[in-house]
Amino acid sequence: MHRIFLPILTFRYSLLTLGWIKYFRNSLNHSAVLDIGRVKTAPAGDRALPHDSTGVGQAAHDGHITAAMAKVPFFKMHGLGNDFVVLDARYQAIALDGEAVCRLVDRHTGIGCDQLIVLEPPRQATARLFMRIRNADGSSAEACGNAARCVAWLLHRQNGETRMRIETAAGLLEAEIMPDGQVAVDMGLARTEWSEIPLAHPEDTLCVDLALGPLSEPVCTNIGNPHATFFVEDVEAIDLGEVGPVLERHPLFPERANIGVAKVDDQTHLRLRVWERGAGITRACGTAACAALVAAFRRGLADRRGSIGLDGGRLDICWREDGHVIMIGPAALSFEGTFDQSLLTGS
């Protein structure tokens, strides 16, 4: 009897085991199984467990959930802390309206920067590219010295060139990579006629009839964009956040203006702080540094060559006898990456 019972028990045990194996296999086939970057979904009609609905990648895609999202590459760069997001649209156009610009430059919900720089195909055959400049408020700027140095640095990294020509809305800029790694840019002619700034009506640009609080009688200069430079005894004592936006939009400036407050330390050293048109207070502004040296020389306060100290560091500026202004300073790449195209559309 023991011999008969043992096979029967073994047979029943085998059936029980096979039953559990079959149940387990069926359970696997009817459950959501998460693989690396891929989701196998349960057949229609099966009820998923509550925790299954919260996993990453639950959509029925062949790839990861983010695979369908278009990515846009960018560079984050700065010149003395004046920072930029640089987009390369030379080979594929990027649709950017004012709202998209504002979303990108937002430091809380976007990438964050003072200005957005878009590299486009050149209009002139002698230029390597066209540099489009968008301010933090979505408006456009004609020139930006710190951005020009950053773009020249990028071109040098891409193809090893040490001299290049960059096209802007203000004209062509010649740039050169120096042996010490700094970048020199010919910012073009300094324009000083009232109509070239431009001003709303005729004024002596060496001593403009304009005052607000402790600031008065600026020197106005165009370095590809309009500047008003006020000379003061202490730049730190001026509340740029208060006077800057008012002066920027003064009726005297039909295209608005960059506002600089400068102190002359000696014939070759100036201290400068800047409220940038469309961007606010920035740590450095290349065209404002050029305008400050030109203004100081015109007033007889400084030489044609000098070092301008800004919140973010120093720029060397030279106003040549032929009227061209040369700026020398550093450029730095902070990081590079990609962002979802939805940031441009707000979707």
Catalytic (active-site) positions: 144, 285
Tell me the longest C-alpha to C-alpha distance in the chain: 124
Structure tokens at 80: 């003395």
Instruction: Return the residue matching tokens 């450095």.
Output: 284
d(CA 171, CA 185): 13
**DSSP letter assigned to residue 237:** G
168, containing H or E segment: strand 163-168
Nearest C-alpha neighbor of 142 from the set 198, 87, 193: 198
Q: Burial level of 347, CB count in 10 A (0-12/13-18/19+)?
A: exposed
71 forms beta bridges with 340
DSSP 34-47: EETTEEEPPPTTPP
281 forms beta bridges with 275
**DSSP letter assigned to residue 95:** -
245, containing H or E segment: helix 240-248
Structure tokens at 166: 């960059």
Nearest C-alpha neighbor of 225 from the set 184, 254, 201, 251: 254
